Structure 1
Amino acid sequence: MRDAPHDTDPTLETLPFAGLRVLDISQGIAGPYCAHILWQQGAEIVKVEPPTGDWGRKVGVVHGSTSALGIAYNAGKRSICIDATTGAGKDLLLELALRADVVVQNFRPQVAERLGVGYEELARRRPELVYVSISGYGPEGPYADYPASDSVMQADTGLMFANRDADGTPRRIGMLLADAATGLYAAQACAAALCRRFRTGRGGHVELNLFDACCALQANNLLEYAIAGPSAAGPVSAPNGIYATLDGSVTLLALNDAQFAKLCRALEREDWLSDARFDNNASRMAHAALLNQQVAQIVATGTTAAWQEKLTRHDVLHAPVRTYADVLQHPQALHRQTFQTIEQPGLGALPFAGIPATGMRRPVGPAPDNGEHTVQLLQEAGFTRQAIDQWLQQGVVRQAATQLAEAQ
């Protein structure tokens, strides 16, 4: 795990969104990830949190007042804590929104309007604003008010169906795919809206929802279903699977006849090339159980490293099945310096995989405490210390305790 050398890091001024002001009033994953991607590409993000904090701070692997989820999607941002249930807090939130180039929110429909920072109100006063709204199912329709989460979306959009096991049992994909994919789509759509703004001076309302995003993610699967109907769960070629070695496991496969020939030579089973049962992929699929069994017997006789060397030499599609510990030390990751290092207070050095466009991202920074930069951000916005102190005393805004002592 190493930081990219400083001489290869782009300067902030060269990043595409340098100087862009983003107000992130979202919580969880999709909205915060959208804003975080903009931060990686140079934008300055002001993350607004309520006194209870972003709910993502309390989900998954939690340490103190933050979580792995909170770090992953909020690294580098500055946080201001505002109680928008108060009149003064609502007015302050509106003031900050009107100073922004981009606002990102992922509330249920009508919540932003009740807080006074809905799109129509802001666009009327700041027409160049790009406003990103992310919801579960969209602002209208029979499911508009349904609660949504990553697991709900994996079930409701067919992602679990796509990941069913050999017996046909649907399974949840073991990562927050629905949320993360929506965040990626949102960042791309926001960038497109900003491109239009740079050309025309007009802002706009970017509306996305998890349901549509998950359907877009499965465009190929849905087309295959429309063309051919339901298909059996499992691989579409043979051999194709995960096979145990003497000390681990490897995945290997052959997608066509040329690749199957390479595999036969690597496994020293060139006799399979003249076996009518394995003449083409359709025949191999018909005899997949037998073929996979024989491949498994051969692979079980060698170590993972030995098979890596041999399969690589014969140009066979394969990879060892790696743990996350292995991935962090992957030779290509070390060469590419895939993982940056976050120095997160209380946790020390942590590995971080940023956006893969390495020439268009800044070095990563730690995720903030809730309200860590409240006083600093209000001062930068031009509010007097007297007004800030009054808001602090009234509970309209809050400052993280460790930083409050330094600010006084």
Structure 2
Amino acid sequence: MDSAVAADVNCGPFSGLRVLDISQGIAGPYCAQMLWQQGAEVVKVEPPAGDWGRHVGTVAGAHSALSVAYNAGKRGVCLDARHPAGREALRRLADGADVLIQNFRPGVAARMGVGYQDLAPAMPGLVYVSISGYGEDGPYAGAPASDSVMQADSGLMYANQDEAGVPRRIGVLMADIATALYATQAAMAALYRQARTGQGAHVQLSLFQACAALQVNDILAHGMAGARHAGSVSAPNGVFDTADGRLSVLALNNDQFARLCRALERPEWLLEPAYADNAGRMARRDELHRQLAAQLATRPSSHWIERLAREDVLHARVRDYDGLAAHAQARHVDLLQTLVQPGVGSLPYAPLPGLAQRRPPTASPAIGQHSCEVLHDWGWNAAEIQTLLATGALVQDGARKESL
């Protein structure tokens, strides 16, 4: 076992839990990785070509930012499930897992011999997590789904429309990430039930369901109002240029507006009947924003931040990720850890919040980096591993080996 993995294997509430992650992309891998952050042993199984997430977005060498983010800490096994011996090995790994996570289209895992119905009769305590695009059945069950598809189909783009009513994709992988969070919560609930009763569970959820749950307030608001109004719900409320940067500044009620007026030394706004309440300010939002923008542009951000903070006005500097790393509070709470990824370098890594003890981040595995090691640890003998390598069903370090 890698020394970095061995050093912290007993860290966290899920220490001793074996998770077999046969998923790809984001939602399934991130679910498994969150369990790793809380102490579980996670084995990532990939085909010879690797998880498709390795080749999406920002790529350096054999990894993308996506594959590093959602597979850090795992041990990597490469099996060719097209090979009968590969399918048998995958099934044997599944038989040794406490949790299995897959996010194939409905029916694919069963064709590989590791569907829930294949495993559950002999493993009543198994927690089996199935993540799909639209669900296990129904008219869209077989439809292809991605984060962008789901943002469009679930209303997320509608929720993020601009002031002209044009739907926009949210600039993070919101559909996938939300699904991973909901999947992890459901898996943990199933593990709690298993600890109490000994009974496992088949956790089934879809990106479609997760995106709806994420928008519960907006869906209710739409049901109450019958329409969605683009833009902010208060004025002033926006992003404004300063002499050297940008600030988000807003007031949600009359008290906050009064604080803003004091910070900007604009007593005339408080005396203006048209600005007496939020409805009046919203009706004159463009003029109010024009005046605010003109004033903020005259001085650097630090000048306005000092004034706004003094009056406890809602505001923030608009930061990029370098700015986030430099944030005083980020440094105080160790917001970002350092993850060293071979072939890439030292990277900033944002761990789960709320952990009683953080597990030091370790690298995302190369394809098949730990194939022989994991099989040995999970009960294979040397001859069995050698046979799998010789047939090509098992790949170690991305290359078929003739000997251990």
Q: What band does the TM-score fall into relative to the shorter chain?
A: over 0.9
Q: What is the identity, as a one-letter code, of the residue corresponding to 1:342?
A: L
Query: Does 1:148 pair with 2:145?
Result: yes
State the Cα distance separating 1:33 from its structure 2 match.
0.3
* Partner of residue 32, structure 1: 29
* Partner of residue 248, structure 2: 251
What is the alpha-carbon distance in structure 1 between the residues aligned to residue 352 and residue 155 of structure 2? 27
* Partner of residue 4, structure 1: none
Q: 1:152 to 1:401 in 2, by over 3 A?
A: closer
Q: 2:38–2:355: 8 Å Cα contact kept in structure 1? A: no
State the Cα distance separating 1:286 from its structure 2 match.
0.8
Query: Does 1:280 pair with 2:277?
Result: yes
State the Cα distance separating 1:80 from its structure 2 match.
0.4
* Partner of residue 52, structure 1: 49
Q: Deviations over 1:122-162 (max 9, x none)?
A: 11110000000000000111111110000000000111111
* Partner of residue 332, structure 1: 329
| Root-mean-square deviation over aligned CA pairs | 1.6
* Partner of residue 201, structure 2: 204
Q: 1:12–1:362: 8 Å Cα contact kept in structure 2? A: no
Query: Does 1:261 pair with 2:258?
Result: yes
Query: Does 1:313 pair with 2:310?
Result: yes
Q: What is the identity, as a one-letter code, of the residue corresponding to 1:84?
A: A
Query: Does 1:15 pair with 2:12?
Result: yes
Q: What is the identity, as a one-letter code, of the residue corresponding to 2:60?
A: H
* Partner of residue 61, structure 2: 64
What is the alpha-carbon distance in structure 1 between the residues aligned to residue 275 and residue 349 of structure 2? 44
Q: 1:102–1:129: 8 Å Cα contact kept in structure 2? A: yes
Q: Deviations over 1:199-254 (max 9, x none)?
A: 10000100010000000000000011000121321100000000110011100000
What is the alpha-carbon distance in structure 1 between the residues aligned to residue 345 and residue 153 of structure 2? 39
State the Cα distance separating 1:323 from its structure 2 match.
1.1
Q: 1:372–1:403: 8 Å Cα contact kept in structure 2? A: no
Q: 2:58–2:65: 8 Å Cα contact kept in structure 1? A: yes
State the Cα distance separating 1:402 from its structure 2 match.
8.7
Name which of 87, 98, 101 aligns with 2:95: 98
* Partner of residue 292, structure 1: 289
Q: What is the identity, as a one-letter code, of the residue corresponding to 1:137?
A: Y
Query: Does 1:301 pair with 2:301?
Result: no
What is the alpha-carbon distance in structure 1 between the residues aligned to residue 138 and residue 358 of structure 2? 38
Percent of pairs with identical residues: 55
* Partner of residue 89, structure 1: 86
Query: Does 1:133 pair with 2:130?
Result: yes
What is the alpha-carbon distance in structure 2 between the residues aligned to residue 133 and residue 299 of structure 1? 51
* Partner of residue 322, structure 1: 319
The SS at the match of 2:356 is helix
Q: 1:81–1:374: 8 Å Cα contact kept in structure 2? A: yes
Query: Does 1:175 pair with 2:172?
Result: yes
Q: 2:61–2:344: 8 Å Cα contact kept in structure 1? A: no
Query: Structure 2: which 5+ runs fail to align?
Result: 1-6
Query: Structure 1: which 5+ runs fail to align?
Result: 1-9
* Partner of residue 353, structure 2: 356
The SS at the match of 2:16 is coil
Q: 1:92 to 1:254 in 2, by over 3 A?
A: same
State the Cα distance separating 1:383 from its structure 2 match.
1.5
Scaled by the length of structure 1, what TM-score is found? 0.95
Q: What is the identity, as a one-letter code, of the residue corresponding to 1:326?
A: G
Q: 2:392–2:400: 8 Å Cα contact kept in structure 1? A: no
* Partner of residue 399, structure 1: 396
Deviates more, 1:159-168 or 1:33-42: 159-168
* Partner of residue 3, structure 1: none
State the Cα distance separating 1:13 from its structure 2 match.
3.8
* Partner of residue 3, structure 2: none
Q: Deviations over 1:170-201 (max 9, x none)?
A: 11111111001100100010000000000100
What is the alpha-carbon distance in structure 2 between the residues aligned to residue 187 and residue 83 of structure 1? 27
What is the alpha-carbon distance in structure 2 between the residues aligned to residue 264 and residue 52 of structure 1? 60
Q: 1:196 to 1:305 in 2, by over 3 A?
A: same
Deviates more, 1:353-362 or 1:157-166: 353-362
Q: 1:358 to 1:296 in 2, by over 3 A?
A: same
What is the alpha-carbon distance in structure 1 between the residues aligned to residue 388 and residue 399 of structure 2? 18
Scaled by the length of structure 2, what TM-score is found? 0.96
* Partner of residue 7, structure 1: none
Q: 1:164–1:233: 8 Å Cα contact kept in structure 2? A: yes
